[in-house]
């Protein structure tokens, strides 16, 4: 069964059709840059561009980098604040003329990882983190999702955690892998103190380079197992498609 997923991020909007039997893309994903400012109209234009590229005409899943409740976007840390309070599901459905479901981006990635990736078959408490422009989170207890946790906004040393430990922070401050991993470890220790997870799954595009930073995280006071995401930066697209399959 093929369904379409779109993943809206702070830097890019990407999408592709997904084979939900395999949990993998059926074609190379298509990506456009997230507009700045990332207003609702500008971002929806980007989503329309991605969908039109494939000529897709069926149900559509769209992720959003913030809290989403019943299709309404409630926060907008890494996009324009004009998104706050928007009925994104209705607006996108009207714009595209298609059935649409909208969900938190990290929740989508987490569900995909728990179904097809590094969290497959895992019980206990699993925390999936997407490391990119910000830090997204998805928390699972025995496979059940606690939605919209947004743990990237925990306060760490007086700062929003994602401002210090995201991939964007590493790039903006030109941090070495070791220095960045030290910050990330402090963040993981804070999350572990609060949730006592059995497993951390670290996702986002940076998971392709896990060998650069994972050695600095393991064996330094963290009790949870730490593994890279298997679906890497496609997890959000896959999770979005999984949600759309229920429409």
Residues 127 and 88 in one domain: no
In a domain, residue 112? The reply is no
Residues 96 and 163 in one domain: no
pLDDT, tens only, 95-116: 999 999 999 999 999 999 999 9
Residues 225 and 123 in one domain: yes
Q: For the chain, how many structural domains are there in total?
A: 2
The answer to whether the bond into 37 is cis (omega within 30° of 0) is yes
In a domain, residue 41? The reply is yes
Question: Do residues 117 and 150 lie in contact, with contact meaning Cβ atoms separated by under 8 Å?
Answer: no
Residues 103 and 127 in one domain: no
The pLDDT value recorded for residue 222 is 92
> Does residue 220 register a pLDDT over 80?
no
Mean pLDDT, residues 52-64 taken together: 97
Residues 183 and 169 in one domain: yes
Tokens matching residue 3? 């369904």
Q: Residue 199: how many CA atoms within 13 Å on its side-chain side?
A: 23
pLDDT, tens only, 127-173: 999 999 999 999 999 999 999 999 999 998 898 999 999 999 999 99
Residues 35 and 76 in one domain: yes
Q: What CATH number is associated with residue 165? A: 3.30.420.40
Residues 101 and 162 in one domain: no
The pLDDT value recorded for residue 218 is 80
In a domain, residue 225? The reply is yes
Please, what is the average pLDDT of the chain? 96
CB under 8 Å, gap of 24 or more: what pairs does 69-78 form?
69/148, 71/101, 71/102, 73/102, 74/148, 75/150, 77/134, 77/152, 77/153, 77/160, 77/162, 78/9, 78/10, 78/38, 78/133, 78/134
In a domain, residue 68? The reply is yes
Mean pLDDT, residues 169-188 taken together: 96
Residues 103 and 7 in one domain: yes
Kindly indicate the confidence band of residue 1, based on its pLDDT and cuts at 50, 70 and 90. confident
The pLDDT value recorded for residue 221 is 81
pTM: 0.96
- Tell me the residue range of the domain where 215 lies: 118-230
Residues 196 and 225 in one domain: yes
Residues 6 and 85 in one domain: yes
Residues 77 and 122 in one domain: no
Kindly indicate the confidence band of residue 13, based on its pLDDT and cuts at 50, 70 and 90. very high
Kindly indicate the confidence band of residue 73, based on its pLDDT and cuts at 50, 70 and 90. very high
pLDDT, tens only, 230-239: 999 999 999 9
> Does residue 219 register a pLDDT over 80?
no
CB under 8 Å, gap of 24 or more: what pairs does 141-147 form?
143/114, 145/107, 145/110, 145/111, 145/114, 147/103, 147/104, 147/107
Residues 103 and 9 in one domain: yes
């Amino acid at each position: 069964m093929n369904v379409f997923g779109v993943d809206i991020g702070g830097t890019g909007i990407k999408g592709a059709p997904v084979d939900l039997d395999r949990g993998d893309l059926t074609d190379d994903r298509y990506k456009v840059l997230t507009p700045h400012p990332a207003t609702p109209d500008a971002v929806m234009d980007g989503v329309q561009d991605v969908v039109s590229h494939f000529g897709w005409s069926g149900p559509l899943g769209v992720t959003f980098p913030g809290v989403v409740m019943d299709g309404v976007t409630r926060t907008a840390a890494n996009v324009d604040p004009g998104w706050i309070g928007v009925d994104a599901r209705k607006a996108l459905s009207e714009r595209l003329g298609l059935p649409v479901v909208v969900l938190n981006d990290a929740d989508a990635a987490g569900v995909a990882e728990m179904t097809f990736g590094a969290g497959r078959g895992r019980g206990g408490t699993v925390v999936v983190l997407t490391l990119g422009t910000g830090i997204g989170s998805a928390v699972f207890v025995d496979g059940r999702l606690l939605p919209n946790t947004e743990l990237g906004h925990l306060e760490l040393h007086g700062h929003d955690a994602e401002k210090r430990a995201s991939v964007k922070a590493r790039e903006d401050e030109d941090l070495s892998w070791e220095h960045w991993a030290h910050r990330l470890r402090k963040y993981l220790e804070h999350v572990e103190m609060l949730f006592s997870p059995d497993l951390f799954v670290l996702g986002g595009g940076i998971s392709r380079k896990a060998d650069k930073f994972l050695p600095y995280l393991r064996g330094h006071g963290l009790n949870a197992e730490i593994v890279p995401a298997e679906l890497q930066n496609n997890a959000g697209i896959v999770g979005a498609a999984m949600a759309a399959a229920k429409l």
